[in-house]
Chain A
């Protein structure tokens, strides 16, 4: 057998199945999501949805006033925002930025996709019933808190992006305790409050913009 014959299929071998071509944009998107550990994030978000379901189903609650009643759902929404924030940074850094003009769009799509996944997971978890504020408040809170995480990722770095939703949660608990009425503390507002929704939407939009244009800040202090 010569080397040239190696590339020839054996006469009795079946012909290889025709590979279905995957669209380039889909493959690019999938590779981007893999580089950001999006499947892992989706698994954690599903876990948070399960925790929310359990907390509502078994009536976990914290003794106290309005802040305490929302403490567990808000903490879970914060957890979802923290998870999304740490998906912002990638392992490639400069080469990634230099080789593709699609990167900003991929960042935008990735953030939107994971936010939608977080909302979907928590909405499914809220099926147990009794979520304070219902689905509108859930959407507003998840979007707004994710916005804080995306902004923090752009400013502090993807590794520390999770700190901002946590800080916002503490501020919100203080706002509950102090009976603040500012719409910037949107979890304290009624679910259909326009001011709260606008503020949460503005923070989410700012976070998306920062992520899209700049991406997560890279720090040598990983």
Chain B
């Protein structure tokens, strides 16, 4: 047989070996990557900054993951390190002066860089997912009801990939030894600015930031109703678009490979940028509903269904008190707080025959300001009357500085105010005085009420200063003291005959006994 009689190869060998070669390259890069050496350091930071805080919060998924996922601290802990290490990996060939050498190798420059980035991202995202799994497992040990939100974890994972792509691209384009610390510093600043904007932004493009918890994380999401995935889906789109665009930028350079590859990379980079811009545009269409931020184009109506549950009940002064099972650890506090209030109002016209927890819902956060726009407060409705009481997770003891006294005092105030006004805005002077007397007999001294109980509530006393009033007006204080000094039976008898008129605002301060 001569050479001319040899059969012509139907397909080039490279076509079959390329995927295997790329996989082998990826394996090599996974072994030679710097990221695993930094993961223990990130674990240290993650434990200190995220887990340590989360573990002290009330044992509800919503509360415990608010700091880690809602405010994005898990991503903040990863981002600077991932950006720095990715920049280090991206600048490797340039720092070693090997760019010309590797550009002339068999495989395209882009393929080699993609393998290096992919290995870095696999280590970083894998580390993030492992840390989050361990965090969920550790946090879940004291949580009795519900499950963690998964979409925000996806946001964090894609965010880690985005920071790795940003760092890698910076390293590839500016291959110096200072690119790594500068990329880490940039990641740090980006996270800081993102947190800053996230704290203040309630709409528009600021919603796309993974550190923004406003109107989409908290309240009773995951307890009474679903964590709405609309905004997390838009964030995943945004971060994935940024990642794709940045990685594709590596293929745009003249040294990346052939003309076809560069054209494809340009198209993919544009597609990634378009995806990111689309996500931002979707964020502009977001609106706040009771259950959180809804993006109409991404919304699934099935997520609007409340989560079914069987309430857990106790007794306070003979009145059944029921809470959602996620809050069962706080039922003794709730009944203990309600007992001295309901003990005073037992048998009064319109007094509650049952107390039931209702969902704390999302609404326009700006509505918390003016006193006339009372937001989520206990109300007394129905026949027979039922006291409907929202228990905000942020008021629970141990939540961001709240303590047990504040929690129980808030419940007492909510109950008293609902019984006297049915749950309206700040009452008239006579209503305020009667509420003050009832709260005093429920264990809150009269002098302490304005500062400790009323000021942080929706019924802060008016003041000429920027801060709420810290004392009752003299006439109200005098009437409250006078009413509180009455024997319990006399007070009860007066309320039995005058409570409907008091609720209707037809009793003046002077008419109080």
Q: How far is the CA of A86 from the CA of B188 in the complex (A)?
A: 17
Minimal Cβ-Cβ distance residue in B for A82: B181
The answer to whether the Cβ of B185 comes within 8 Å of any Cβ in the partner chain is: yes
Provide the main secondary structure of the chain B interface: helix
What is the distance, in angstroms, from A56's C-beta to the closest C-beta of chain B?
Answer: 15
A162 and B196 form a contact (CB under 8 A): no
Chain A's interface size range is 20 to 34
The answer to whether the Cβ of B270 comes within 8 Å of any Cβ in the partner chain is: no
Q: How far is the CA of A81 from the CA of B192 in the complex (A)?
A: 18
Q: How far is the CA of A79 from the CA of B181 in the complex (A)?
A: 7
Select one of A72, A86, A167, A171 contacting B181, CB under 8 A: A86
| Segment touching B, from A8-16, A17-25, A36-44, A201-209 | A36-44
Q: A62-B192, A160-B38 are in contact. Are A166 and B176 (CB under 8 A)?
A: no
Q: How far is the CA of A154 from the CA of B326 in the complex (A)?
A: 50
The answer to whether the Cβ of A94 comes within 8 Å of any Cβ in the partner chain is: no
Q: How far is the CA of A161 from the CA of B291 in the complex (A)?
A: 46
What is the distance, in angstroms, from A79's C-beta to the closest C-beta of chain B?
Answer: 4
Interface size of B by CB at 8 A reads 33
The answer to whether the Cβ of B368 comes within 8 Å of any Cβ in the partner chain is: no
What is the distance, in angstroms, from A25's C-beta to the closest C-beta of chain B?
Answer: 25
Provide the main secondary structure of the chain A interface: helix
Minimal Cβ-Cβ distance residue in A for B44: A167
The answer to whether the Cβ of A78 comes within 8 Å of any Cβ in the partner chain is: yes
What is the distance, in angstroms, from A146's C-beta to the closest C-beta of chain B?
Answer: 12
A79 contact set on B, CB distance < 8 A: 181-182, 185, 188
A63-98 Cβ-contact flags toward B at 8 Å (1 or 0)? 110000001100100110011011100000000000
Give residues 269-314 of B contacting A (CB, 8 Å). none
B180 and A162 form a contact (CB under 8 A): yes
What is the distance, in angstroms, from A124's C-beta to the closest C-beta of chain B?
Answer: 19
Q: A75-B192, A160-B37, A162-B84 are in contact. Are A85 and B199 (CB under 8 A)?
A: no
B44 and A44 form a contact (CB under 8 A): no
Known: A40-B178, A41-B178, A75-B192; 10 extra A-B contacts, CB below 8 A, are: A79-B182, A82-B184, A162-B184, A163-B41, A166-B84, A166-B184, A167-B41, A169-B188, A221-B34, A222-B92
Chain B positions near chain A (C-beta within 8 angstroms): 32, 34, 37-38, 41, 44-45, 48-49, 52, 77, 80-81, 84, 88, 92, 95-96, 176-178, 180-182, 184-185, 188-189, 192, 195-196, 199-200
Closest 8 CB pairs of A and B: A82-B181, A162-B181, A79-B185, A62-B196, A170-B45, A86-B177, A44-B178, A63-B199
- A–B Cβ pairs within 8 angstroms, 12 of them: A40-B178, A41-B178, A44-B178, A44-B182, A64-B199, A78-B185, A79-B188, A159-B34, A162-B184, A166-B80, A167-B45, A173-B49
